Amino acid sequence: MSGITGARYVVETAAERLAREQRAQWQQFVQVRGELEALRAEAEAYRSVYGSRISRVVAGARARPQHSPRRIAAATADVALLVGRERERLRTEVLAASRQDVSGLLAAPAAGAARPAARPRRQWDERTVAEPATRQRDDTATRAAPARDDAAAQEQHRARATRAAELLSRLPAATPEEVRAPCAAAVAEIAAGAPPSRAHLLLRDLAERVTAQQRAEERVALARRDLLTIAAPLETVPGDAAARLRKRVARLVADRVDHVPDGLRAEADEVVAQADRARRRKAVADAVRVGLTDLGYRVGDGFDTALAGAGVAYAAMDGDTGYGVKVLLDRDDPVIRTQVVRAGSARAERTEDAAAEQKFCDDYEVIKRRVRRAGIPIDQFGQVDPGRQAVQVVADEMIPAQAHRAAGQQRRQGL
C-alpha cells in the first residue's frame, strides 16, 4: 500500500437504488400525466365549440417524485386507465355533437329533387275517360321510377352529410378558427343539399384540411412527449438551474411547439448529471467520514460537506502527531484520492513520515471494506509506496487537531 492512493468508486447504496427506481417510475408518471393534461385541455377547447355537450375531464390521481416507487406506479396505472376511458368518451361526445349540429339539415330534402307531376286525366266529350288497365299499370311503373330515384338521392345526400359531420368531428380541438370556420361552413353547405358534384369537392377539401390539422397535431404531441421526457428527471432535481429549465419546458408545452429547441436536451441532461454526481459525492463523503472516525481519525465540522462540495477535506490522525490525511473527490469522475500530510508546525524525520504513511495504508484497507459494506465498492487503480515521496506539508489550520490546538493556545494567550 501507499500514502498516496487513487481509486474509482460506484455508489450502490440503498438510497441510490431508491433514487433510481423513483426516477424511473416518475418518468412514466409524467408521461401519462402529460397525456391527461393535454386531454383536459382538448376537452375544454371542444367545449368552446360544442358547449356543455362535452364533459370536462377529471384531474386523476396525484403523485410526487419523493413518493415510493410502488405508490408512483399505482398512480401511473390509475391515470393511464383514466386517459384511455376519457379519450374514448370525448371522441364519442364530439362525434355526437357534430352530428347533432347538422341533424336538422340531414332531415331536409336534397336541393333540386323535384317530385314528378301527376299525369293529367284525359277528357273526352266532357266526360272523364279512365285509362285502360294496361295503360294504368304502365303509368304506375313510370311514377315509381322517379320515386325510387328520389329516395336514392335522399340516401346519398344523407350519407354525404353524415360523412361531413364525421370529418368535422375529427378536426383537432386546437384547430385555429380561421381553419375551423371554413370547415364548418362546408359541412353546413353539404348538409343543406349541395349538388353531388359540389358536395364531393367540398368533402375532398374538408378531408384534406382535417388531415393537415391532424398531422400538425401529431407533431405537437410528439414534441410534447419529448419535452416531458426531458422535464421528468428535472422534477427530481433540486436547485435553481433545474427550476429554470422546468419553467422553460412548461412554457414550450403551453405554447404547443412542434419541435424541441436545439440544445435543450443536452442542457437538461447536464443539470441532472451534475445533481446525480453531487448526490453520489455526498454519499461517498458520508461513508468516508464514518470510516475515518471509526478508526480514531478526527474530522472537523462540515468534513463531508466540504468533501462533497469543494472536493477536498482533511482528517487528523489519532494522537497529537501533526499528521493527517487529505481526501479528494474528483468533480466530474467517480474517483477518490487520499494523501498523508503533515502540519507545517510539526517537525519530523523522513522515517516518521514513512511510519505515518504506513499507518494510514493499514487503516485504508479497513476503511475500504467499511465503505464497501455501506454500498460503495472502491477499486484502487494507483498508489505510491510509503517513503517514496516526501509528505506534503500543509497549513496547521487544515488539520483539525492542529487547528483545535492552535485555537486553544490563542485562547490561553488571551487570558
Checking DSSP bridges between strand 335-343 and strand 392-394, what pairing results, if any? parallel
Q: How many CA atoms lie within 13 A of 106 on its CB side?
A: 15
Concatenating the DSSP letter of every residue in 369-409 gives HHHHHTT--EEEEEEE-TTSSPPEEE-GGGSHHHHHHHHHH
> What's the pLDDT at 296?
92
Asked whether the beta carbons of 298 and 316 are under 8 A apart, the reply is: yes
How far apart CA 187 and CA 27 sit, in angstroms, is 42
Model pTM score: 0.76
Residue with grid cell 329533387, as numbered in its chain: 113
Concatenating the DSSP letter of every residue in 15-33 gives HHHHHHHHHHHHHHHHHHH
**CB neighbours of 278 closer than 8 A, spacing ≥ 6?**
308
> What's the pLDDT at 403?
47
Residue with grid cell 486553544, as numbered in its chain: 408
> What's the pLDDT at 262?
96
Q: Is 54 helix (H, G, I), strand (E, B) or coil?
A: coil
How far apart CA 11 and CA 306 sit, in angstroms, is 19
> What's the pLDDT at 140?
53
What is the enclosing helix (H) or strand (E) of 323? Answer: strand 323-329
Per-residue pLDDT tens digits of the chain, which is 415 residues long: 446 788 999 999 999 999 999 999 999 999 999 999 999 999 999 999 999 999 999 999 999 999 999 999 999 999 999 999 999 999 999 999 998 888 766 655 544 444 444 444 444 344 444 455 555 555 555 555 566 667 888 889 889 999 999 999 999 999 999 999 999 999 999 998 899 999 999 999 999 999 999 999 999 999 999 999 999 999 999 999 999 999 999 999 999 999 999 999 999 999 999 999 999 999 999 999 999 999 999 998 889 999 999 999 999 998 778 899 999 999 889 999 999 999 988 877 888 888 999 999 889 999 999 999 999 999 887 777 777 788 899 998 889 865 444 444 444 444 4
Contacts of the segment 236-241: beta carbons below 8 A, 24+ positions apart: 236/19, 236/22, 236/23, 236/26, 236/65, 236/272, 237/271, 237/272, 237/275, 238/275, 239/271, 239/275, 241/271, 241/274
How far apart CA 126 and CA 171 sit, in angstroms, is 66
> What's the pLDDT at 111?
44
Q: Is 93 helix (H, G, I), strand (E, B) or coil?
A: helix
Give, in degrees to the nearest 5, the angle at Cα 103 between 190 and 182.
40
Q: What is the C-alpha end-to-end distance of the chain, expressed in Å? A: 46
> What's the pLDDT at 61?
94
How far apart CA 314 and CA 318 sit, in angstroms, is 13
Distance of CA 156 to the CA centre of its chain: 48
CA 84, 86, 89, 90 torsion-angle sign: negative
> What's the pLDDT at 415?
45
Task: Provide the grid cell at 175.
Answer: 384547430
Q: Which residues make beta-bridge pairs with 123?
A: 128
Task: Provide the grid cell at 152.
Answer: 336514392
> What's the pLDDT at 106?
63
Asked whether the beta carbons of 354 and 386 are under 8 A apart, the reply is: yes
Domain spans in the chain, listed from the N-terminal domain onward: 14-106+160-261, 279-398
Task: Provide the grid cell at 410.
Answer: 490563542
**CB neighbours of 403 closer than 8 A, spacing ≥ 6?**
300, 396, 397
Task: Provide the grid cell at 105.
Answer: 339539415
Task: Provide the grid cell at 54.
Answer: 362535452
How far apart CA 184 and CA 98 sit, in angstroms, is 10
Asked whether the beta carbons of 263 and 274 are under 8 A apart, the reply is: no
Q: Would you call 104 exposed, middle or buried from its count of C-beta atoms within 10 A (0-12, 13-18, 19+)?
A: exposed
